[in-house]
Amino acid sequence: MKFSNFLLTTSAFVFGLSIQASASDSPGFLPAVPVVGPIVEEYAVLKDVCSKAGPNTYVAVQFEDVDKPVTFDYGQCYPYKMDGHFAKQAVFCKVAFCFNGAGEPEETCNKPFLPPVPIPVGPPLTLVNVGHFANIIGNGAICYETNAVPESLTQLS
């Protein structure tokens, strides 16, 4: 992969999907953008669900046309489409390093990873899947605690 393509892909992933709750809560690695309308209401619900889910849960996701949010733990594949329903919004309640799986759809969280390095995410980040953009750049993510990223995943593919 050319370095210019890597930068373009990274920028599209990070800036095309990310909206943060407020500038004052910003963890420092992504720019804050004001959140408006229904996104705010859903953000509060997802943040609460994520925070109460368990010690290894890092994200709560609301899928389209699904009543209850779904939570994912470190090391568990977070698909951008589940049972035919696209992810609508995700809220991170813990810091994680994520790999965006760009393989075949049946290989949701497998290599190749795009970009080929982990992407840092964390509270108060919310990802809003506008126009199913996440599904254009990948099929799912697998995320790890900052000190637990498997070395085999950090090898450029």
Predicted local distance difference test score (pLDDT) of residue 155: 61
Q: Are 114 and 136 contacting, i.e. CB atoms less than 8 angstroms apart?
A: no
Predicted local distance difference test score (pLDDT) of residue 37: 60
Residue 46: which of 103, 112, 1, 90 has the closest Cα?
Answer: 90
Structural domain tally of the chain? 1
SS3 (DSSP) at 122: coil
Q: Is the pTM of this model over 0.75?
A: no
Q: What is the pLDDT of residues 75-132, one digit of tens each?
A: 999 999 999 999 999 999 999 999 898 877 666 787 788 888 888 999 988 889 888 8
Which residue intervals of 24-93 are DSSP H helices? 38-53
The residue segments making up the domain with residue 25 are: 3-154
Q: What is the pLDDT of residues 36-73, one digit of tens each?
A: 567 788 999 999 999 999 999 999 999 999 999 999 99
Q: Are 36 and 128 contacting, i.e. CB atoms less than 8 angstroms apart?
A: no
Predicted local distance difference test score (pLDDT) of residue 15: 37
The structure tokens listed for 91 are 């809220």
Predicted local distance difference test score (pLDDT) of residue 60: 97
Q: Are 30 and 18 contacting, i.e. CB atoms less than 8 angstroms apart?
A: yes
SS3 (DSSP) at 6: helix
